[in-house]
Structure 1
């Protein structure tokens, strides 16, 4: 019997359940906190390979490092911990010896406290090839702070964990110490599991006729129109005149950041002489090609990158110039950009705060939100995940700046931008730092990913995989805008737009993180077809042996969900 003038009811059931992949390793613990607590949490992974991680067995496993004196103490509530006192040098503390292996990924955590005030305390490993920094935290007196980090080593051999602080007047206290090794295969399994859990959903398609009877042998052909996860690349003005650059870019990316075109020194190099012709043209190009744009940036707190005429302005004149800049660029592009980097690198630098007062960033955020209420507003800085020793942009400092902006009265949306300019990535530390930032609940993007130095393709693959797989990363921009004179630190193509090894990495990951081809299948006797899809926009084409018309095509969206959902499409089939 032919199906004529009937309605095929297509039900789409979305479920976040995993696809059943097998993980051959203990799951990774993404938990972290930036709070200072009365009592430490239990050690992650029960301490991993640490002997006596909760100090329940005296000082077993722990020895003196340097010239400190160490002792075992207990709080009034019975919590036990190790103490380093009478410290004379920064490294004087307690230590434990491990056999660390090259090629392993080590995640590290500990809960720390100091005897008075507060002090930066770092976890260090003395290894056969040198000293490795595993992470640090500003520890306080009267409460416990979580240090979470990680490391890889360049040579296998005996290694000594110790803690250091330049403030030798404080005692260092530690509890719930954990060091957990993972093989590269196990680390990759964490990534695959996280991607499958957080970037995909199970989809069941059920085909029925208008009487509710299942349609067996209906064929579904599903094609992804647009991935949900924003993965893009920076662009510059060269894209306006080079068709090779245009074609290469448009075949890959649907989100971008303009490298320099929107910056103040580009749009107003001379006082009062504004020129938006380049960013206007670039935004028009992006809009025509369905490419979303992050606004970068309104202000830059680094004194070196101010327009030359701005540097010598008085406070009153600077306020006038700032307000003019704000009311020029933001309304011009309001509703046309998805986000703004409001005050670039205001953790490392303080040009505007030094001239206009400590609440300058909060004032800027308030004004931008008033002028463009639909845009996400970003803090954007470097060295938070690239290396563990930069105090200025640690996860804790991000939180302090966030709280400072909130205290200044800003209540709108705010997000964390991690520039991600790497040389040699410490992938376990990168994951741990994102874990700590994720505890804020704020959206997080990797905004300017590149690799400086050798092994660019290998390291780029590591960084992008780690970023995409982390459940709290909401988008990634690669910082590789093409220029015939060379890129900033890293190019993806040569000048004929043939991929370099870094470009091959990007193409391979785009294929892995999306459904670039068709997903096809046939319904069973119950009219069911099951598959698992990356989140994104899809087009499904339905055919059936009894349909008069050859096929019917409809669109649907697979979005992140927390509970099973059911959606239905009604497809009219004409004779």
Structure 2
């Protein structure tokens, strides 16, 4: 998490939680029903296309050769030529990909060339030789396009890797159809019909009783970051408590805040903030124990190596986790492991896995999270694709004595691609772990309200057990 005190970071729990309602809504959806099916294992045979192929039903990919769009040559194959794509339509795309020759595995991303504009990534997958991998994504256009081309690139774009694709699908949703699906999933996953029987002490039913229901707490947590500026600021505290039931300390738990100088621990601010959280029964996430990005470690830590660093790490985790045992429901254990490797470089390849084991031993009730950025925002960052995230989680889970409990997604959006975002969440849901959007911020050049609403609603309809 990188932010200032002006940055509002929204916490969004995406685990399957139940909310009660006295009324049920219709299950009917006018238009296509969103298919959340996703696969993360490489298969001997590809599955049938979602939506029976949608706009790509019975359409075969182009053969090597030139096409009619400037700048797209034979090396971009296989390709699909698309006609008459409309503005503001949400297009959900999926396809199965296999490497025929040229590499054992490769990062493959789907791109869209629409007239003179190119969408850099509308979906990605780690493809392998000899088996089929599932790519799921999507896109939305700012303007209509008479002709466009959907094509594929590999991480080694030298023409040597040959791809085979099958079971392609492109399903359009109007904005209204997308909202209808969101409403359906929200009502289905987060609401239940409740029958209330009112009776006298002798068991006799009371006819026509008037029942008032007051919600006093929420299972589905939405929150914001707080910083030391909330201490003693009553208007800020009142404003916060009325709106949020979850929080994360902006900087006050980070190592550079609690031990800026070696051996001089200072938990004063964190303790005071915890008192505020505890007094108002607010859920708090612990962020973070360690940060893999070297620039967010104390200067003195960056100068340590070998056993000196190992001793400092052990003292840090023991001091922090013991002091706040049972206080934080979550901990981001080793932040941004996909992008950085400060501790692995100095302490060994699996150093961060040991952090998870130590945290579990000290606070067995806390949910331990793997937190990173550019997982749900884009598929252009090869370090943090959804397949890379899933592979790292599975690797961590195979490590002896480790239990990683939660998926943490930083959401630093420019323009949210809701089709891609939802597709990535579908894949992550196959891990059967709770998913939290641990941060949400939107580019200042955009309409914040509408874009945050899109991001939140894409998350609200997604869940994992």
TM-score, normalised via structure 2 length: 0.90
Q: Of 131, 135, 141, which residue of structure 2 is paired with 1:143?
A: 131
- Which one of the candidate residues 83, 95, 104 is aligned to 1:110? 95
Q: What residue number does 1:100 align with?
A: 85
Aligned residues: 435
Look up the match of 2:321.
330
Once residues 32 and 233 of structure 1 are traced to their aligned partners in structure 2, the CA distance between those partners, rounded to angstroms, is: 31
What does residue 470 of structure 1 align with?
462
Map of 1:264 onto structure 2: 255
Task: Indicate if the aligned counterparts of 1:378 and 1:414 stay in contact, CA closer than 8 A.
Answer: yes
Aligned position for 1:163: 152
CA-CA distance at 1:106 after TM superposition: 0.5
- Structure 1 contact 89–168 (Cα < 8 Å) conserved: no
CA contact (8 A) 1:342 1:365 kept: yes
Q: CA deviation at 1:410?
A: 3.3
Give the CA deviation at 1:15. 9.9
- 8 A contact 2:369–2:408 mirrored in 1: yes
Mapped to 1, the partners of 2:390 and 2:194 lie a distance apart of 38
Aligned ranges 1:225-236 → 2 under 5 Å: 225-236=216-227
Equivalent-residue separation in structure 2 for 1:51 and 1:337 (angstroms): 50
Q: CA deviation at 1:40?
A: 0.7
Cα RMSD of the aligned pairs, angstroms, is 2.0
- Look up the match of 2:383: 392
Bigger shift: residues 399-408 or 152-161 = 399-408
State which of 26, 30, 37 in structure 1 corresponds to 2:36: 30
Q: Is the 8 A contact 1:363 1:408 kept in 2?
A: no
1:134 to 122, 137, 141: 122
Relative to 1, partners in 2 of residues 1:390 and 1:18: Cα closer, same or farther, differing over 3 Å?
A: farther
Cα separation, partners in 2 of 1:89 and 1:382, compared to 1, 3 Å: farther
1:212 Cα deviation from its structure 2 partner: 3.9
Q: Does residue 43 of structure 1 match 2:49?
A: yes
Q: Distance in 2 between matches of 1:19 and 1:120?
A: 42
Measured in 1, the distance between the counterparts of 2:379 and 2:289 equals 28
Question: Aligned with 2:343: secondary structure?
Answer: helix
1-structure distance, mates of 2:133, 2:234: 54
Structure exhibiting the larger radius of gyration computed from Cα positions: 1
Cα distance in 2, alignment partners of residues 51 and 245 from structure 1: 55
| Cα deviation, residue 315, structure 1 | 1.5
For the Cα contact (< 8 Å) 2:78–2:165, is it kept in 1?
Answer: no
Q: 1:407 to 1:459 in 2, by over 3 A?
A: same
Partner Cα separation in structure 2 for residue 349 and residue 333 of structure 1: 26
Give the corresponding residue for 1:539.
none
SS state of the match for residue 456, structure 2?
helix
Moved over 6 A (4+): 14-17
Residue in structure 1 matched with residue 8 of structure 2 by the alignment: none
- Give the C-alpha shift of residue 167 in structure 1: 4.9
Q: Which of 183, 190, 199 is residue 199 of structure 1 equivalent to?
A: 190
Following the alignment from structure 2 to structure 1, what is the Cα–Cα distance between the partners of residues 31 and 368?
Answer: 38
Q: Distance in 2 between matches of 1:438 and 1:167?
A: 34
Match of 2:396 in 1: 405
Which runs of no fewer than 5 residues in structure 1 stay unpaired? 1-13, 54-58, 69-86, 475-575
What are the superposed Cα offsets for residues 303-343 of structure 1, whole Å, 9 maximum, x if unpaired?
11110111111121110110010111011111011010000
Provide the residue aligned with 1:152 in structure 2. Answer: 140
Q: Is the 8 A contact 1:258 1:296 kept in 2?
A: yes
Task: Note the alpha carbon deviations across 1:392-440, whole angstroms, 9 max, x for none.
Answer: 1111111221122223213434211001111111111000000010011
1:123 maps to which residue? 110
Residue 64 of structure 1: how far off its partner (Å): 3.8
DSSP-derived class of the 2:196 partner: strand
CA distance in 2, matches of 1:16, 1:216: 17
Match in the other structure for 2:62 = 63
Counterparts of 1:444-483 in structure 2 under 5 Å? 444-454=435-445, 455-472=447-464
